[in-house]
Structure 1
Amino acid sequence: MTLSTLLLAFVGHVTLFGAIQHTQSQLQEYQALRSSLALATTPLGQTDLNGVPVASGTPIAVMSIPRLGWSEVISEGTTPSILRAGPGHRRDSVFPGQAGTSIILGRAATYGGPFAGLSALVPGDTISVITGQGDNKFTVIGLRRAGDLLPTPTSPTGGRLELVTADGPPLAPTGILYVDAALSGTAHETPGRIFQPAALSPGEGAMQTDPNAILPFLFALQWLAIAIAGARWLQRRWGVWQTWIVAAPVILVLGATTADAAIGLLPNLL
C-alpha cells in the first residue's frame, strides 16, 4: 500500500500538481521581475547593485519562443528546486545578450515541462529574452546532442544563447539536447565575473540530482508508512469506511509530500 500510494502520488505530482506549482511560481516570478525592471534593479551579472552575489532563484529575465507559443521567466541558478519554477540561468555564464554564451537549463517533462518542445526548433527560429539591459533577439543556428560538433566560438562583441534540456521520451531521457542561438546585433556591456564553473555546486549541472534531497525523502516516507500502518490498525477497530474517511486525506497529503521529495532525487532536466 505504501508503494501504491507513493506511485499514485508521483504520477499525480508529475502530471497535475507539478504543473500547477510551475504556473503559480511563474506568476509570482513574473510580478517580481516586472517590479525590478520598473525600478531598474534587475540583476545584470553575478552580483547586484551593491556588489552582493545574486541570490539563487532571483528572476533575471523573461524568454519568449514564438514557435513554441510560450513565455517563461528565467531565474538565477539551475538546482533541481529552482528548475521547478521554470528555466534557470547557469550562474557561471553571462546573462542573455552579453558577450559570450549564456546557458539556460529547463525541464522537459515535470513541473510544466517548459522545454518539452525544444526539439521542434529549427535553424532560423527566433528567441526573445528581455533582461535589465533590454530586449535581446536570438536566431537558432542549430540543435546538437552528444558527439555533435560544437558551434564556432563567438566574436568578442557577439553573444550566444544555449538552451539545455533532457532529450528523448518523457521521464526516460536518452541524453541531453542543446539548442544554440546567435545574438542579433552587438552584445551589451558584460560585467566582470566573480566565480567560474568550478564554483558551481554538484546539483547545478545538467542532469544532476539534489544531493540534499535524500533526507527529506526518507523522513516523508517514514511518516507515510506510519500513517498507513496506523490506518490498518484503526480498520480493525472502527471498520473500513470509518477508517478511510479519516485516514485517506492524511495518506494522500503524505503521499504527495513524499513524491515531491522523491522528485528531488531525479535529474534536474526531467
Structure 2
Amino acid sequence: MTVPSASTYIPAIALQIVAVVALGFIVQVVLLSQLQHDRDQQTLYADFRADLAHAVAPVGQLAPPEPPGVPRPGEDATEVEEPDRLMAFGTPVAILEIPALGLSEVVLEGTTSDVMRSGPAHRRDTVLPGQEGTSVIMGRRTTYGGPFNRIHTLRPGDQITAVTGQGEHLYEVIGVRREGDPLPEPARDGEGRLTLVTADGRPLLPSGVLRVDAELVSDAQPAPARSLTTASLPASEDTLATDDQAWYPLVLLGQALLLAVAGTVWVRNRLGHWQAWVVGIPVIAALGLTAADQVARLLPNLL
C-alpha cells in the first residue's frame, strides 16, 4: 500500500482547516450568534435588576469603590484607599426599551466588538443615559441578535426609555440621519440627548453609519466627573472598529485545528475512516466554531 507523502498531506490539511473555519463562521453568524446574544441578555438582565434592587448600579465612568484595604503595621486604616478604577468592559449600565420596535435590551459598558456580541453598548466617553449631555449607545445591525436592525424605521415622536441607577428616563426621537445629513442642534445646558448608532447599508455590507437622535423629555440627572475623554478612547471602540485582541486566541486556535486535522488524518490511515470520524469530527467542529467566534470579533462592531 502506498503511503501518501507529506506534500500531499499539507495541502489537504490546509483545505480542511479553511473549510471548517468557513463553515463554522457561517453557522456562528447565522445561528449561534443569535443564541449567544439571547443567553447573555438573560443573564445580564438578572444581574442588572439585582444591581438596581441593591442600589449599586453604576452612575458614572468609575466602578464602585472596593472595601478598604488591610493597613500595614503602623498605618492608619483610614489612609488605605483604593485608587479610582474605570468601570470594567461589559458591565451592565442600563436597560433600553423602544416600544415601537418591541425592543428591550441591557446596555453594556464599552463599544468593542467583543463586548457588543452580548448586546448594545454605551460609548465610554459620553454620559450615561438620563444625564445632562449626549449619551451614545451603539448596537449591531445583523449579527449577534441584531438589536438595532430596525432603528432606521423610527419616526419623530417615538419614545425611548432608559432605566439606569438614577431612575427611569424618557426620550423622544427627533430624527434619523445618515452620513452627510446635517447635525442636530447641540443640547443646551441642563438638557439631555441620546444617539443610537448602527451600520447603514445592506446586512454585512455596511455603506456607512446610521444614527437616531432623541431628546430627553424627563428631568436630566447630573453627570459625575469623567476621567475618560474622547482623545483617550481606544480606536477599537470607535464606529465600525474591529477587535485586534482576537488575533491572539485565533492564532492558537489555528494551531490546535492544524493538530486536530493532522491527527484525524493519521487515525484514518492507521485505524480506518469510521474511527477517524468518531474521534476527530467532534474535536474539529468544536475548535472550528470557537475559531469562527474569534473571527467574528474581527468584523466591524456595528455589523
| Shorter-normalised TM range | over 0.9
SS at match of 2:194: strand
The aligned residue for residue 148 of structure 1 is 181
Q: Does 1:19 align with 2:34?
A: yes
For residue 109 of structure 1, the aligned residue among 142, 165, 170 is: 142
**What letter corresponds to residue 57 of structure 1 in structure 2?**
G
The aligned residue for residue 272 of structure 2 is 239
Q: 1:84 offset after TM fit, Å? A: 0.9
- Whether contact under 8 Å (1:97, 1:136) holds in the other structure is yes
Structure 1 residue runs of 5 or longer lacking an equivalent are none
Q: Residues of 1 paired with 2:112 and 2:158: CA distance? A: 28
The aligned residue for residue 132 of structure 1 is 165
Counterparts of residues 150-189 of structure 1 (less than 5 Å) = 150-189=183-222
Identical counterparts, % of pairs: 47
Counterparts of residues 1-270 of structure 1 (less than 5 Å) = 1-50=16-65, 51-270=84-303
- Whether contact under 8 Å (1:158, 1:185) holds in the other structure is no
SS at match of 1:137: strand
Q: Deviations over 1:125-173 (max 9, x none)?
A: 1111011111111111111111111110111111110011111222111
Q: 1:17 offset after TM fit, Å? A: 1.4
Q: 1:238 offset after TM fit, Å? A: 2.1
Q: 1:48 offset after TM fit, Å? A: 3.6
Q: Deviations over 1:150-204 (max 9, x none)?
A: 1101111111100111112221111111111111133112211112111211211
Larger radius of gyration: 2
Structure 2 residue runs of 5 or longer lacking an equivalent are 1-15, 66-83
Q: 1:269 offset after TM fit, Å? A: 1.0
**What letter corresponds to residue 56 of structure 1 in structure 2?**
F
**What letter corresponds to residue 122 of structure 2 in structure 1?**
H
Q: Residues of 2 paired with 1:47 and 1:265: CA distance? A: 28
Q: Residues of 2 paired with 1:22 and 1:99: CA distance? A: 30
**What letter corresponds to residue 242 of structure 1 in structure 2?**
Q
Q: Could you say what the CA RMSD is over the residues aligned between the two structures, in angstroms?
A: 1.3
SS at match of 1:255: helix
SS at match of 1:228: helix
> Could you state the TM-score of these two structures normalised by the residue count of structure 1?
0.96
Q: Residues of 1 paired with 2:205 and 2:268: CA distance? A: 39
**What letter corresponds to residue 213 of structure 1 in structure 2?**
A
Q: Residues of 1 paired with 2:90 and 2:275: CA distance? A: 44
SS at match of 2:44: helix
> Could you state the TM-score of these two structures normalised by the residue count of structure 2?
0.86
Q: Residues of 2 paired with 1:242 and 1:65: CA distance? A: 53
Q: 1:225 offset after TM fit, Å? A: 2.3
Q: Deviations over 1:200-257 (max 9, x none)?
A: 1121111111121112112112211221222122212222222111111001001011
- Whether contact under 8 Å (2:171, 2:218) holds in the other structure is no
Q: Residues of 2 paired with 1:54 and 1:236: CA distance? A: 53
